[in-house]
Amino acid sequence: MSISRTNATFSPPVMEARRWLDGVIHPADRPLLNVSQAAPVDPPPAPMRDAMADMIRDDAETHLYGPVLGLPDLRAEIATRWTAAYGGEIRPDQVAITSGCNQAFAATISAICTEGDEVIIPVPYYFNHRMWLDMAGVKTVPLTVGDGMIPDADAADALITDKTRAIALVSPNNPAGVEYPSGTLSAFRDLARRRGIKLIVDETYRDFDGRTGAPHDLFVDPQWDDTLIQLYSFSKAYRLTGHRVGAMVASTSLLSEAEKFLDTVTICPNQLGQRAALWGMHNLDDWLAGERLEILDRRAAIEENFPRIAAKGWKLLGCGAYFAYMQHPFDMASDVLAQKLVQDAGILTLPGTMFMPDDVAGGAQQLRIAFANIDRAGIAVLFDRLENLTL
């Protein structure tokens, strides 16, 4: 008996983790620290919300269907900014707007893959990427990362078969937080081009990269669009999580294929969200720079506090963007530990088992801490609880 595509994959990890809270009472002096989800919980800044209210009231187009590939002015703004930021040439017709970055990934896979194809992904992976590949009938080929949680292009080369259609990377990485060196990304681009496959680079967290200047030179290559597909999200930059606005940057021929998927699924991206994203790009540069500095300070707070638990056997495997990825010292699987942390320490986090295939070692000793919604003081409390944990 055949099963549906949704039955071919696992349940959404964040939703599963939230069920661990059922029936658990958190004392007033130990409120829950939710470090499970990599998304801001605050609304967009007040000036943006005011502008959005004006759009709803005064701009009739906000309420109607729009172009499948997105608002032309937003596509043009991304092209202009990306050209300046990365030092290469990106045209508006090489940009598509999507209903969030997850949809950008889904549209990409639908445009380049068919039943039984393969996509190489470093592990630990972003679980929604694995889920979509499962539901698309595409095999996930895990690439074990090396020192510093950085993948190696030569190791990926050995995994390529005649069914491989792409290598998908996330930098800054989810779940490990690490920022892939420019040379690493160039090596993967060269590999993908030589082997005739695509390189997908998800830069959802690019606005919180700790480096100055362009994080890579992939767009400097005049022929970048024969190999590279870049994905992006406005959810993290402007807290537009509920409005679902993402982007994909690729060749016009690939976007023409993706357009078929996007037209069938959503017809057009959210009109209000697109206009808000464009308004943000025009008006919130200074605000976004401040948000970046805040996230970098939280990253520093993680690194400053970590020696407190390193003395107890913990290891910091990666830290950056919204994430700290840790190895725990306990003689139990991380999915068991994560549920005990809810009850014994008032911490909701995700275990490494949610970011790894069952047949790849490592996830049972790992945890992901998402620190987007806890400030420096909250991070100190987090480490107080981890330091005093007794199991």
Residues 59 and 151 in one domain: yes
CATH of the domain at 20: 3.90.1150.10
Last residue of a domain, one of 225, 257, 283: 283
Residues 39 and 50 in one domain: no
Give pLDDT, residue 108.
98
Last residue of a domain, one of 225, 256, 283: 283
- Domain around 10: 6-43+287-387
Residues 124 and 198 in one domain: yes
Residues 205 and 95 in one domain: yes
pLDDT in tens, 37-76: 888 889 999 999 999 999 999 999 999 999 999 999 999 9
Is 1 among the domain residues? no
pLDDT in tens, 246-287: 999 999 999 999 999 999 999 999 999 999 999 999 999 999
Give pLDDT, residue 112.
97
d(CA 139, CA 237): 32
Residues 105 and 163 in one domain: yes
Residues 275 and 162 in one domain: yes
- The better pLDDT of the pair 199, 3 is held by 199
Residues 19 and 132 in one domain: no
pLDDT in tens, 113-128: 999 999 999 999 999 9
Last residue of a domain, one of 232, 252, 283: 283
CATH of the domain at 235: 3.40.640.10
Give pLDDT, residue 17.
85
Element (H, E) at 199: strand 198-202
Q: How confident is the model at residue 8 (pLDDT cuts 50, 70, 90)?
A: confident
pLDDT in tens, 147-189: 899 999 999 999 999 999 999 999 999 999 999 999 999 999 9
Residues 199 and 83 in one domain: yes
Number of domains into which the chain is organized:
2
191 contacts 178 by C-beta, under 8 angstroms: no
Q: Please report the DSSP string for 311-372 in residue order.
A: TTT-EEEEEETTEEEEE--SSS-HHHHHHHHHHHH-EE-EEGGGGS-TTSTTGGGEEEEE-T
pLDDT at 15 over 90: no
Q: What pairs with residue 80 in β-bridges?
A: none
d(CA 290, CA 284): 10
DSSP 8-state code for residue 70: -
Residues 146 and 253 in one domain: yes
Residues 24 and 61 in one domain: no
